[in-house]
Amino acid sequence: MHTITEVIIFYFSGTGNAKQIATWFAEFAEKKGFDCKLVNIQNIDTKTISSYASDKLLMIISPVHGFNYPKITLNFIIRFPKGNNRVVLMNTRAGMRIGKWVTPGISGISFYIASLIIKIKGYKIQGMIPFDMPSNWLTLHPALKLKSVKLLHKVNYDRVEKHAGKIFAEKNVFFAFKEILQDLLVSPIALGYFFIGQFGLAKTFYASTACDNCGLCIKQCPLNAIKMLKGRPFWTFKCESCMKCMNNCPKKAIEAGQAFLIIISVISSITASLLLNHLFFVKLSSGFIHSLLFALVFFLFIVVFYRLQHLLLRYKFTAKIISFLSLTHYKFWGRYKSIPDHRWKE
């Protein structure tokens, strides 16, 4: 294996957390005298990538979605050409703050699926490192306060400096192995989210009456998952809940329908139970069959009711009711974007 002469960092980022980590690694790489290149996965055509000389260190960083790398990142890794370079895998996950302590997120199967693909392609894994940046999943919780955001940025900057020193000295850093037990425990959830859960969350987003149809969400979506339908933004099943649209909207018009998702889940569960207990000629008591039927019914209802909701959003009265039932509609819920360094260094 050749000595490192150049560092290439591939990143995918919705609200800036993964990009921030990539930028910090680039900063320390340049301080060590390495040439460094940042590459946004969103803007690259993998068909144009050829194998890299073995003296180039390759780093890949992406957020964790449902305890796994999002599809855009996995597709990038799958389509990446074969090679024999050193590769460092990293992720950003949902960090929180309790006092001066940063609560860790969970990486799930993100590192293990990606590292398997990378190894099959001939690369050598030099590191697997998680970073607990501020959680941005506003569908589930309000945005973190600025004080917490500043602390998490500082803590992770220090972690990057520490790990960068080892990585650029060509040492292995497998910090992720310390959490392998909890990662394995959540692996069924990760698989469930990848095949089912992400489609439900993709249909929680909508544009409220505050939307002025500027089209920014459509232009900036890394997956082209938003389209204009009947004069309003419409989220397709390509959406991976990276939160970029919600957090970048200048009018804060993009909201998440938590009540919508709960209602659909309850209706789907009742319908699946009725089908199993009353309409089928053979009683099917298998938990797997029940889960599969629930998933199919849930998917069908999501398609139908999300389109219905989209039509109801055209009318001010029903649109206000829909917004009233969304926690993201209220100011206290807030929005989140990664902050520049000067903000947390103040």
- pLDDT-based confidence at residue 100 (cuts at 50, 70, 90): confident
Distance of CA 32 to the CA centre of its chain: 31
Domain 6-189 CATH assignment equals 3.30.565.10: no
> Per-residue pLDDT for 123 more than 60?
yes
Q: What is the pLDDT of residue 51?
A: 84
pLDDT at residue 288 tops 90: no
Distance CA 95, CA 337 (A): 14
Amino acid 2: pLDDT: 58
Structure tokens that stand for 183 in this block: 């990662």
Residue 244 tokens read as: 């970029």
Interatomic CA distance for residues 77 and 118, integer angstroms: 7
For residues 134 and 339, what is the distance between their CA atoms, to the nearest angstrom?
A: 10
Q: What is the pLDDT of residue 192?
A: 82
Query: Predicted confidence band at 280 (pLDDT cuts at 50, 70, 90)?
Result: low
Please determine, for residue 97, whether its predicted confidence score (pLDDT) is greater than 60.
Answer: yes
Percent of the chain with pLDDT over 70: 96
* Three-state secondary-structure class, residue 59: strand
Average confidence (pLDDT) over 257-281: 82
Among 258-262, 276-280, 330-334, the range of highest mean pLDDT:
330-334
| pLDDT reported for residue 203 | 87
Domain 196-333 part of CATH 1.20.1260.10: no
Query: pLDDT at residue 114 above 70?
Result: yes
Integer angstrom CA distances of residue 142 from 193, 258, 285: 21, 12, 39
Q: How many CB atoms lie within 10 A of CB 300?
A: 12
pLDDT in tens, 187-234: 888 888 887 778 777 888 999 999 999 999 999 999 999 999 999 999
Q: Average pLDDT over the chain, rounded to whole?
A: 91
What are the DSSP E strand ranges found in 153-260? 205-207, 226-229, 232-235, 254-256
Q: What is the mean pLDDT of residues 124-134?
A: 97
Instruction: Summarize pLDDT for 134-161 with one digit per residue, the tens.
Output: 999 898 899 999 999 999 999 999 999 9
Q: Is residue 57 within 8 Å of 166, Cβ to Cβ?
A: no
User: Region 287-291: what's the mean pLDDT?
Assistant: 71
- Which amino acid, one-letter code, is at 100? K
Range 287-295 average pLDDT? 75
Q: Are 298 and 261 in contact (CB under 8 A)?
A: no
Tokens of 24: 């910090």
Percent of the chain with pLDDT over 90: 72
Phi, psi of 61 (to 5 degrees): -135, 140
Considering the chain, tell me which residue range(s) the CATH 3.40.50.360 domain(s) occupy: 6-189
pLDDT at residue 45, rounded to an integer:
82
- Confidence band of 23 (pLDDT split at 50, 70, 90): very high
pLDDT number for residue 196:
75
255 - beta bridge partners? 206
149: CB partners within 8 A, 6+ apart: 134, 336, 339, 344
The single residue listed with the structure tokens 């260094």 is: 345
Phi/psi for 46 (5° steps) reads -60, -20
Domain with CATH 3.30.70.20 in the chain: 196-333
